[in-house]
Amino acid sequence: MILVLASCNDSNENPEPEPEDKYLVEAELVYSATSSQIKLLAQFSGFPVDVNEFKYDVDLYKVEYLTTHKGTTITASGLIALPKTTQEVAMISFHHGTITLHADAPSNFSASDPNALLYGALSASGFISVIPDYLGFGSSSSILHPYYVEEYTASAILDMLEAAKELAVEKNVKFNTRLFLAGYSEGGYATMAAHKAVEESKPAGFELIASFAGAGAYDLPGMQNYLFGLTTYDDPHYLAFIIRSYQLTYDFSSALTDFFKEPYAGRIPALFDGQKGAGEIDAQLTNVLGELIQDKILSGINSDPSLAYMVDAFQENSLTDWGPENLLYLYHGEADTTIPYENSEATYEALLLNGSSPDVLKLIPLEGTHSSAITPYILDFIPKLWALR
């Protein structure tokens, strides 16, 4: 903590007490790595990156911090990696994709986790690295994750950025105010939601430089139209997750039965208990959309007044109603059938129509599917990140 001295000249005045953290609740050191270890891991990973960029040893902390959910202050969690250096460094918040298992939350990280390389490497290259669990995981696992809910996705990230700034002060790491955001799949959505929130709220002490959003479902009505044009969809847990999330977030009591046929509607609450992975959830559903989804949804969701609440929720949580002012890269695999490339393309066009400049907004097509495009995403955004820091 920095000691704040009284401003008067009386030498007998006692210094004011250290300022209390407003966001950070607790930080536990869980892992340390030297720059040499990170370089070695990077070489063995096969990723063609310049390992000489990994200059600093790193300490990784599990943290708890304060945020809000439905008007109540709650404790959330995540990881923060700090580089060991006296130089001023930037900050990056990296956002993971969809998880359903509580065990997969970043705060349950172990040193053998393959994500250790990415988290540690980002920090070792000169960044305070912030890795949120999201609400509904880690310390806030008593609630269901508000999946694809813009408000709580963004606020949990922005509040953790504040906690990271407080931890950096405590550990004598100098933050130069330069902020970057990145993430893939749901993490891409989280990245864009946080980018939008930073531009709107302009939190003190942060200068947003660039964001790197990969393969998120930013346009939810567009995603709806895509899915309803399919016969089968191999990831039905995504649909179940979002409708269950909206049911609880917005107190839509009939959402599950309005959207899903039985026996699936009745099964869904128990499937999202944090103890089941995506494959296990999918096995309890069906990939045949005509068997899973109510006929009135498939044929008339946009015209049936009784379903307007659901249409409005999709629109409210879409990220097509703004125009970024700071650099935003949109990445998407052209062969993606989980979230189609056209979703990013439509979002890109909408944001330009809303006033964003093509000098600020960049759409980058990638080779690959939703899964296989992750590697080219990382290999493209990391050098851009380093060039901008």
Which of 296, 311, 324 has the alpha carbon at shortest distance from 193? 324
Question: Torsion angle, CA of 115/68/207/96, rounded to 10 degrees?
Answer: 20
Average pLDDT for the chain: 93
Convert 257-278 to b/e letters by CB count within 10 Å (16 or more is b).
ebbbeeebbeebeebbebebeb
pLDDT for 116:
66
Domains and CATH numbers, the chain: 24-219+320-388 (3.40.50.1820), 220-316 (1.10.260.160)
pLDDT classification of 3: cutoffs 50, 70, 90: very low
How many whole angstroms separate alpha carbon 187 and alpha carbon 130?
13
Instruction: Dig out the tokens for 174 from the structure.
Output: 């100098």
Asked whether residue 313 carries a pLDDT value surpassing 50, the answer given is yes
Over pLDDT 70: what percentage of the chain? 94
pLDDT classification of 229: cutoffs 50, 70, 90: very high
Q: What angle do CA 262, 314, 157 make, to 5 degrees?
A: 110
Q: Determine if the peptide bond prior to 17 is cis (ω within 30°).
A: no
Q: Specify the range with the lowest mean pLDDT, choosing from 25-39, 228-242, 249-263, 319-333.
A: 25-39
How many whole angstroms separate alpha carbon 92 and alpha carbon 194?
12
- Asked if 186 contacts 91 with a C-beta cutoff of 8 angstroms, the reply is no
How many whole angstroms separate alpha carbon 378 and alpha carbon 380?
5
CB atoms within 10 A of CB 312: 11
pLDDT for 10:
39
How many whole angstroms separate alpha carbon 298 and alpha carbon 4?
61
Q: Which residue has the higher pLDDT, 236 or 39?
A: 236
- Asked if 62 contacts 101 with a C-beta cutoff of 8 angstroms, the reply is no
pLDDT classification of 220: cutoffs 50, 70, 90: very high
Asked whether residue 201 carries a pLDDT value surpassing 90, the answer given is yes
pLDDT, tens only, 255-308? 999 999 999 999 999 999 999 999 999 999 999 999 999 999 999 999 999 999
Which of 220, 225, 237 has the alpha carbon at shortest distance from 313? 220
Arithmetic mean of pLDDT, 117-136? 92
Quickly list H helices, the chain.
35-45, 115-124, 150-170, 186-201, 220-228, 236-249, 255-259, 264-271, 278-283, 289-292, 295-300, 308-316, 341-353, 374-388
Q: What three-state secondary structure class fits 58?
A: strand
pLDDT, tens only, 47-65? 788 888 999 999 999 999 9
pLDDT for 146:
98
Asked whether residue 33 carries a pLDDT value surpassing 50, the answer given is yes
Asked whether residue 235 carries a pLDDT value surpassing 80, the answer given is yes
Instruction: Dig out the tokens for 296 from the structure.
Output: 């009135």
Arithmetic mean of pLDDT, 361-367? 98
pLDDT, tens only, 143-174? 999 999 999 999 999 999 999 999 999 999 99
Half-sphere exposure of 365 (CA within 13 A, CB side): 9
Instruction: Dig out the tokens for 105 from the structure.
Output: 């939350």
pLDDT classification of 111: cutoffs 50, 70, 90: low
Asked whether residue 8 carries a pLDDT value surpassing 50, the answer given is no
